């Protein structure tokens, strides 16, 4: 599996045009939001939380160092909206980043519902979707949620396999859920994410994912030197 170095961070207003592109590419006929304004309203909704996966040309070494440790933005996530009106330097940095994927969720009492996990077509099968899923599970824990739910197309067996890997199970079917072609959706849900069995499994999978990313980064360095 090919992998690249990327970083995850909370979404900002400057990211909306690129996120909209990914939305349109990943969900043709089922776009989450149809305009810049509706996306802006959504990301500033206190119940909604979005993250983006991004790369930046010439920034690989720094991103690799950031990705090798726990990313501290999770601890700052809920103060991020107050930090958005930053100086020109921060804004300039983000405009140089290329968004390759995003994830969004809604928090409702003790439940988190994943709205979407999407990756650009050219960056799929690189572990980015799994990285985004790991981060949404971590956010759910930060939000003191007990359960995570989501809908996925019946035909999307690849996504279902990833979710099942992280202890999501099919709860029910929602007939003709998707308006573009009338396809059914399956509702998937975790058990209690605060339970010891879930956390043990999650931490093991998270560490395995990290090791795969690090192994690929080491391999690339070795190939460059050779």
Residue 187 and residue 151: Cα distance in Å, rounded?
Answer: 5
Cα–Cα distance measured from residue 188 to residue 192, given in angstroms and rounded to the nearest whole number: 13
The CA angle 71-75-78, to the nearest 5 degrees, is 125
178 is catalytic: no
Is residue 36 flagged as an active site residue?
A: no
Higher pLDDT, 166 or 215: 166
Q: Is residue 115 part of a domain?
A: yes
Higher pLDDT, 179 or 44: 44
Asked whether residue 18 is assigned to any structural domain, the reply reads yes
Residue 179: other Cβ atoms inside 10 A: 9
Q: Is residue 2 part of a domain?
A: no
170-226 residue pLDDT tens: 999 999 998 878 899 999 999 999 999 999 999 999 999 988 877 654 444 333 333
pLDDT at 71 over 90: no
pLDDT band at 107 (very low <50, low <70, confident <90, very high): very high
Active-site pick, 151, 178, 183, 214:
151
Half-sphere exposure of 226 (CA within 13 A, CB side): 6
What does each C-alpha distance from 48 to 67, 71, 97, 113 come to in angstroms?
24, 20, 23, 10
Between 12 and 222, residue with greater pLDDT: 12
Structurally, how many domains does the chain consist of?
1
**pLDDT per position as a tens digit, 58-67:** 444 344 344 4
Query: Residue 22 is part of which domain span?
Result: 7-225
Q: How far apart are CA 44 and CA 58, in angstroms?
A: 31
The CATH number of the domain holding residue 129 is 3.40.630.30
Q: pLDDT value at position 215? A: 64
Catalytic residue among 39, 50, 123, 163: 163
DSSP 193: T
């Amino acid at each position: 599996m090919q992998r690249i170095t990327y970083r995850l961070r909370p979404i900002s207003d400057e990211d909306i045009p690129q996120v909209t592109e990914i939305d349109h590419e990943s969900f043709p006929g089922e776009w989450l939001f149809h305009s810049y304004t509706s996306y802006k309203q959504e990301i500033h909704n206190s119940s909604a939380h979005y993250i983006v996966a991004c790369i930046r040309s010439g920034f690989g070494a720094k991103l690799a160092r950031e990705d090798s440790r726990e990313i501290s933005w999770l601890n700052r996530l809920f103060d991020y909206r107050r930090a958005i009106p930053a100086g020109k330097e921060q804004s300039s940095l983000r405009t140089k980043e290329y968004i390759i994927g995003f994830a969004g969720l809604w928090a409702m009492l003790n439940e988190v519902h994943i709205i979407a996990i999407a990756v650009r077509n050219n960056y799929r099968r690189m572990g980015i979707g799994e990285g985004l899923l790991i981060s949404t599970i971590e956010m759910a824990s930060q939000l003191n949620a007990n359960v995570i739910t989501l809908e996925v197309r019946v035909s999307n067996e690849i996504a279902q396999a990833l979710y099942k890997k992280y202890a999501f199970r099919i709860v029910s079917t929602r007939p003709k859920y998707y308006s573009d072609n009338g396809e059914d959706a399956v509702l998937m849900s975790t058990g209690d994410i605060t339970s010891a069995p879930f956390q043990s499994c999650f931490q093991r999978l998270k560490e395995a994912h990290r090791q795969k990313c690090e192994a690929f980064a080491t391999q690339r360095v070795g190939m460059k030197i050779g």
